[in-house]
Amino acid sequence: AQGRDGVIRFVVDAVAQAGANPCPPIIVGVGLGGTFEQAALISKKALLRPVGQPSPNPETAALERDLLAQINALGIGPQGLGGRITALAVHVETYPCHIASLPVAVNTECHAHRHGTVVL
């Protein structure tokens, strides 16, 4: 019900509360929409996207950029010692939901994020 600004506030607050615990710099996965269970699942799916690859949806890509800027403005920095880079990337995945609700889930991954692909 708080829209885009509420989502940004929630995600930035979640990262601020985590502080140095996820071993920044981090990759942030955000799931928006569906049921809460779906939001949690797609927040994990968001972490599977290659680091720094923006969403193909222009609105979602803009949200990712804004979230990254605000998270880095927290100044948590590498290993929580302060600095400009708290997050390396923010990836957002969305799913349709009822207009009266907007579940949001946040997942963090440390900088030692391993990523591989398999072609079948």
Express as a percent the part of the chain with pLDDT over 90.
Answer: 85
- Tell me, what DSSP letter sits at residue 78? G
CA distance 26 to 109: 6
Say what the pTM is.
Answer: 0.92
**Mean pLDDT, range 101-107, rounded to an integer:** 95
**Mean pLDDT, range 67-92, rounded to an integer:** 97
Is 20's pLDDT higher than 90?
A: yes
User: Where along the chain do its domains lie?
Assistant: 3-109
**Mean pLDDT, range 52-66, rounded to an integer:** 97
Go through the chain and tell me how many residues it has: 120
**Mean pLDDT, range 56-69, rounded to an integer:** 98
